[in-house]
């Protein structure tokens, strides 16, 4: 079992930056693939980024590539999402997620993730 708690959301102007953090608990955290997803009102949940258990493999949505960096610190059981050059279309609730299987791939399919945090709101104004 993995429990996840996100933090770091907020309101920024377009062009600004935010750093989201996800604190995880559970004895397998360091071996779980982790992902970030987002969901805007009236839209489906959308993949943002994923990182492998050891941080050596990452995967990004085209919409955020070059502006977003995912990283993890297994010693602290945390995963972070650094977001730069934010746009109004980045406005959404951001969710941290973990795959239950060990050493899994950095899939962009939300159905492959088994544990979810409660989400943190990111609002970007123009």
Diameter of the chain by CA atoms? 42
- What is the pLDDT at residue 1? 81
Mean pLDDT of 53-58: 96
Using the predicted structure, report yes or no on whether residue 104 has a pLDDT greater than 90.
Answer: no
Q: Which of 8-17, 79-88, 96-105 has the lowest mean pLDDT?
A: 96-105
Which of helix, strand or coil describes residue 60?
Answer: strand
- What is the pLDDT at residue 112? 96
Mean pLDDT of 100-121: 94
Mean pLDDT of 52-70: 97
Using the predicted structure, report yes or no on whether residue 103 has a pLDDT greater than 90.
Answer: no
């Amino acid at each position: 079992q993995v429990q996840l708690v996100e933090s770091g959301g907020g309101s920024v102007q377009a062009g600004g930056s935010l750093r989201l953090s996800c604190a995880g608990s559970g004895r397998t955290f360091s071996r779980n693939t982790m992902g970030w997803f987002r969901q805007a009102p009236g839209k489906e949940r959308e993949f943002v980024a994923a990182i492998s258990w050891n941080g050596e493999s990452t995967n990004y949505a085209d919409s955020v590539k070059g502006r977003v960096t995912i990283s993890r610190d297994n010693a602290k059981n945390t995963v972070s999402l650094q977001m730069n050059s934010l746009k109004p279309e980045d406005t959404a609730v951001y969710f941290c997620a973990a795959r239950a299987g060990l050493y899994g791939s950095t899939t962009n399919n939300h159905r492959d993730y088994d544990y979810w945090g409660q989400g943190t709101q990111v609002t970007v104004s123009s």
